[in-house]
């Protein structure tokens, strides 16, 4: 398959470090969009700021590279104004769960038809390795030299609880599964989120002595457990594992559909 028309070749070489998972995630997104047969001119891709948020710079869609933490509000405005566009947010764990955490919760609660692809690398990559809400407790960051003291967000659990229609988790090691999950998330009507575990060897890996870039990817192979298999495993067996696959897929009222219905009823009342 020829993916090159979906890439902005003049923007290469990209900024990502050797062994960063973000390039694998970009390829999975492009493959998913190709599989769905979507017109690249009918896609809106919005990001905040961070290494992950550079993704729309390389993808030849209608793209918005916005401000740190605010990708979801920009995407909400775009989707409300141009509902015919398939609107995808690409964001990082810092972008979406620290500075932008409230936006994430409320967009899920609203169940607006957006797809959020959240690259979780457990740290602020672009700015050199500050602690993030997903840094595992006790792990090192430049702002947590003795180890993070705070509990870790379960992003998928958070968005399920807030009311999202579709939530999945995957690693970049499981690239084929990732492609399929992104496909399902985009096709789903309502708020959908795929948490993509994407290793950052340069900041997280180095600070936490995780070995060579390839070792972080191989750890993902070791840790990933399909949700179907995890159901039969005990909490002890699941210790240190990452459950991957579809975590929630449910039918709930979608915000724009409800909004359109109510506003047209209200307008009729005043005619
Ligand atoms: C309002 C604001 N605060 C802080 C920054 C600095 N900043 C840029 S990227 C970033 C963190 C990025 O971390 P994450 O979202 O996890 O993405 P990653 O780089 O790890 O992919 C920060 C704090 C900024 N650009 N704007
Ligand atoms: S700093 Fe980390 S997240 Fe950023 S490009 Fe390098 S490896 Fe990837």
239-263 pLDDT per residue, tens? 999 999 999 999 999 999 999 999 9
Task: Answer yes or no: are the C-beta atoms of 59 and 30 closer than 8 Å.
Answer: yes
Q: pLDDT confidence of 270, banded at 50, 70, 90?
A: confident
Closest CA to 113 of 34, 188, 42: 188
98 contacts 69 by C-beta, under 8 angstroms? yes
Ligand 1 atom having least distance to the Cα of 203: 20
- Do the beta carbons of residue 107 and residue 91 sit within 8 Å? no
- Polymer length of the chain: 271
Residues with CB under 6 Å of ligand 2 are 16-17, 20, 22, 51, 121, 125-126, 200-203
- Residue pair 257/83 in contact by the 8 Å Cβ criterion: no
């990708």: which residue's tokens? 71
Token pair belonging to 250: 């449910």
Do 242 and 223 meet the contact criterion of CB atoms below 8 Å apart? yes
- Of all residues in the chain, what percent carry a pLDDT higher than 90? 97
Res 269 pLDDT > 90: no
pLDDT digits (tens, 9 = 90+) for 205-243: 999 999 999 999 999 999 999 999 999 999 999 999 999
Cα(154) to centroid(ligand 1), Å: 20
Pocket test for ligand 2, best of 14, 17, 23 (most atoms within 8 A of CB): 17
Distance, in Å, from the CA atom of 231 to the CA atom of 235, rounded to the nearest integer, reads: 10
Q: What percent of the chain has pLDDT over 70?
A: 100
Q: Are 252 and 111 in contact (CB under 8 A)?
A: yes
- For the stretch 97-128, pLDDT in tens is 999 999 999 999 999 999 999 999 999 999 99
Evaluate: CB of 92 within 6 angstroms of ligand 1.
Answer: yes
């Amino acid at each position: 398959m020829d993916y090159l028309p979906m890439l902005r070749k003049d923007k290469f070489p990209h900024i990502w470090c050797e062994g960063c998972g973000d390039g694998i995630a970009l390829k999975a997104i492009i493959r998913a969009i190709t599989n769905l047969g979507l017109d690249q001119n009918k896609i809106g891709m919005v990001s905040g700021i961070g290494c992950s948020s550079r993704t729309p710079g390389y993808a030849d869609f209608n793209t918005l590279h916005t401000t740190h933490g605010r990708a979801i509000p920009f995407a909400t405005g775009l989707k409300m104004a141009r509902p015919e566009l398939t609107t995808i947010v690409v964001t990082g764990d810092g972008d979406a769960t620290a500075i932008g955490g409230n936006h994430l919760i409320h967009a899920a609660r609203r169940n607006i038809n957006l797809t959020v692809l959240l690259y979780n690398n457990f740290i602020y990559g672009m700015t050199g390795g500050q602690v993030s809400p997903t840094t595992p407790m006790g792990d090192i960051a430049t702002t947590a030299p003795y180890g993070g003291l705070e509990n870790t967000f379960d992003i998928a659990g958070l968005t399920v609880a807030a009311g999202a229609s579709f939530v999945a988790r995957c690693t970049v090691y499981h690239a084929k599964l990732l492609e399929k999950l992104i496909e399902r998330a985009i096709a789903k009507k309502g708020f959908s989120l795929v948490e993509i575990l994407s290793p950052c060897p340069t900041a997280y890996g180095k600070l936490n002595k995780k070995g060579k870039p390839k070792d972080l990817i191989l750890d993902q192979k070791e840790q990933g457990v399909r949700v179907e298999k995890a159901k039969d495993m005990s909490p002890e067996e699941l210790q240190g594992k990452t459950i991957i696959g579809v975590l929630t897929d449910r039918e709930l009222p979608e915000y724009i559909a409800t909004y359109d219905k109510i506003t047209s009823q209200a307008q009729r009342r005043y005619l």
